[in-house]
Amino acid sequence: MNHPHIAAIYGLEESGGRKFLVMELAAGETLAVRISRGPIPVDEALKIAGQIAEALDAAHEKGVVHRDLKPANIKVTPDGHVKVLDFGLAKAFEGEAGNTNLSNSPTITMEATNAGVILGTAAYMSPEQAKGGTVDKRTDIFAFGVVLYEMLSGIPLHQGETISEVMAAVIKETPDLNRVPARVRPLLRSCLQKDPKQRLHDIGDAKLLLDISVPSAEYDSKPTRSRPLWMAIAALSSLAAIAVAALWIHQYLMPVLPVRFVVLPPVGGVIESAYSTAPQQLIAGAISPDGRKLAFPSKDVASGKIMMWVRSLDTILPVVIEQSEGSGGAMFWSPDSQSLAFFSQGMLKKTKIDGGPPQPLCAAPNGRGGTWNRDNTIVFAPNTSGVLYRCTEGGDAIPVTQLLQGQRAHTYPTFLPDGRHFTYFAAGPSDSVSGVYLGSLDSRVGTRLLAADSSAKYASPGYLLYVRKGTLLAQAFDGTKTLSDETIPLAESVSVVSSGSPSFSVSDNGTLTFRTGPGNQNLQLAWFDRKGTFLGSVDNPGGYRGVELSTKGNRIVTHRHDGSGGDALMGERDGPLHPLTFDSAQDNSMPIWSPKGDQIVFSSLRNGMWGLYKKPSDGLGKEETLFESVPQKVPMSWSPNGNFIVYWVFNPKTNGDLWKLSLADNMTSPLIDSPFNESYAQISPSGNWIAYVSDNSNQSEVYVESFPAGQGRGRQQVSSGGGRYPRWSADGKELFYINLLNKMVAVKVNDTVPTWEQGVSETLFDSGISIISHIGGDYFTYAVRGDGQQFLIPRPPDTFKKDFTLSPITVVLHWTEMLKK
């Protein structure tokens, strides 16, 4: 249950063999404490009663009966806000003590043979509850009347020296209402009927009775003149009209407030996916179209195993999806909310929520989102680069978009209501290219809608939701091409995972989920040892994207992103950093050192052309253009002999490829080009080998092969179970990489011999690295000092704290009410 006047339960935990519930901390004093100071003024009491009635009404609609409503289970904040506590809870009662406070006695749990169970606090029981009979929502209505009487009178309605006497009063005594104001007596009479059939039928009707002003003369004991029949009928008709009008007002005009609560991971787990575990790249799960179920991946901390989980919002605990190992965070629902699609082990799969093994649909080595329409058509992104595809029943994938100039990837599509059009995120080298696009099943050419850092999701009643600079925004959209000029902020510090992946989801009926965290524009360059111990930081936080150490390890060069571009910065090991380039409008990215440390090479987008440029590291000389061409390119590594520069280049036909530039004749040639995505190249200290990443096995793995020959000669796989970002130690005896759980791994190697020799591997520490590329991962996100004992990693400053924890998923019900603020 989720309601402003019901204390939320966040989880079921266990410690030392004891199970316990984690409940919202409700501020203020209990109603029992408030009543102990004397009767509550009628207007204040009625406001409190109205909020209690709203809480019970919400619970009854869910089929939940409180069974133990009493002043001690109701909190009232200093500003009069009510929280009802302890739904359905019962305490063991082991006997009758003579000094028991019967108005706040423990909840009774007694079994009299098998005839029935008596539950509830004696002074607030309904007659049927006291007799051990069946209870329903009318039991709560009786308790509501008892509580309201006590608020107004300052004394308990049912009294006695023992629990037995109190229960007898509950069952037999007719309550004396002379102590309470006349205007509330009709309501109390309706609530306190001994026969549940004669009692107020629905707690939602209580407010109607509270709103009808009844003159006190009606309760005068003196006889009154009888009225003509037609006057009585007219009066009844008028009251009926008032009641109908009040009911309409209550249902349609009463303000609806957004309700917020959080969803925590299973016990012993953290909400992470196999694709992103960095602290500022938080998975918010996927809310089902009907708004009732939330799916999310969770990693078991002890085993490192990642599985898909689903939690119904009307329950406390999530349920695991069997055979969902290695799940990514880009899951999506069928339109009827009965099936879930997700990416796992190189495949797009679907599963029925009510059981059954997942069924493979289409190959998806590094799936990045999908969408499902009512015609059973699925559009998805199988990779971090490339176009969107349509998945057919036979398992074949048919492209439905094409890359426009400058685009590298289409990801995270969302169908619009017509089932033919969809939005998606296009990743590119700059904000002028990246953003949200409108696509169609009838045409492969998309149309740009808006600039954004994440994909957009359509939400009724006609809005696009997306993230821009850490803010979750809503913008009115007519479902075709027309957007309003106004953007409405919904939440701050909402993260973007990578390649436009949003850390939010939204249902068809007004439920929103999101996660907050530090953004990519606030990373701190920091040093860590092989145990992951924080050793110190460099300069100020910023949007660092790529970091490189000189051969001796005493100087740093990095790219700091600012807006749509950025500059290369350089400095000593402990900073400060100084600009090496001075045109922040360009994307002067991923600078690398020459072997001697006297030159820097970086890439930049200038006049529609991507080029490699060289500049003296002292910053005094002029830039030299090495070469320029249209495809995006990023320098990766400079050979120890100074003869070659290996760079990554984007090819729309073959994804990412590795090329080499010969500095002797300024000629370029392919080094490793294939239909798969190759990236993150690093030449070994001896110059004999090159380490790089390829997804040819349906997931990213680290490989080495001979250099400068390349093209698969002597190729060996180094990583096991996935790997990224290889880096060499200066002596060539260790090769480091980041596994798919973001752990730093060290592998013993020997790069000085003609044949490849590889020894044992060791997992060092949780790197906390960030996928900090604007377009999904073309920059090295850490550097290794020459001796392999220290690592320079850009990370959010908060993650250095020992007590840092990942934020939970925030769920907002009735989020559209936020648009009115």
Q: How far apart are CA 688 and CA 705, in angstroms?
A: 9
146 phi/psi in degrees, rounded to 5: -65, -45
With left for phi above 0 and alpha for psi between -120 and 50, is residue 712 left, alpha or beta? left
The alpha-helical segments, DSSP class H, found in 339-475 are: none
Q: How far apart are CA 681 and CA 735, in angstroms?
A: 12
* Strand runs labelled E in 313-420: 319-321, 332-333, 339-344, 347-352, 359-363, 370-372, 378-380, 389-391, 397-399, 409-415
Residue 207: closest CA among 249, 236, 239: 249
- Which residues sit opposite 116 in a β-bridge? 112
Three-class DSSP category at 684: coil
Q: C-alpha distances in angstroms, 146 versus 71, 83, 182, 437, 578?
A: 10, 18, 16, 60, 73
Sign of the dihedral defined by the CA atoms of residues 213, 214, 215, 216, in that order = negative
Q: How far apart are CA 612 and CA 103, in angstroms?
A: 81
Contact yes or no for 556/792 (Cβ under 8 A):
yes
SS (H, E, C) 150-163: HHHHCCCCCCCCCH
- The DSSP 8-state label assigned to residue 560 in this structure reads E
Residue 688 tokens read as 């004999």
Three-class DSSP category at 599: strand
The size of the chain, in residues, is 821
Q: How far apart are CA 427 and CA 383, in angstroms?
A: 12
Neighbours of 201 (CB within 10 A): 13
Q: Residue 299: in which H helix or E strand, if any?
A: strand 293-300
Q: How far apart are CA 385 and CA 773, in angstroms?
A: 13
Contact yes or no for 280/520 (Cβ under 8 A):
yes
Q: How far apart are CA 133 and CA 117, in angstroms?
A: 8
Task: Clarify whether 798 is annotated catalytic.
Answer: no
Three-class DSSP category at 190: helix
- The DSSP 8-state label assigned to residue 404 in this structure reads P
Q: What angle do CA 26, 28, 32 make, to 5 degrees?
A: 105
Active-site annotation holder among 57, 68, 205, 657: 68
CA 789, distance to chain mean position in Å, is: 35
Q: How far apart are CA 749 and CA 757, in angstroms?
A: 6
Contact yes or no for 740/719 (Cβ under 8 A):
no
CA 797, distance to chain mean position in Å, is: 21
Q: How far apart are CA 42 and CA 816, in angstroms?
A: 34
DSSP 510-530: SEEEE-B---TTSEEEEEEET
Sign of the dihedral defined by the CA atoms of residues 224, 229, 230, 236, in that order = positive
Contact yes or no for 657/646 (Cβ under 8 A):
no
Contact yes or no for 600/592 (Cβ under 8 A):
yes
Three-class DSSP category at 463: strand
SS (H, E, C) 715-774: CEECCCCCCEEEEECCCCCEEEEECCCCEEEEEEEECCCCCCEEEEEEEEEECCCCCCCC
In terms of Cβ atoms closer than 10 Å to its own Cβ (0-12, 13-18, 19+), residue 532 is middle
- The DSSP 8-state label assigned to residue 22 in this structure reads E
Q: Which amino acid, 376?
A: N
Show which residues are catalytic: 68
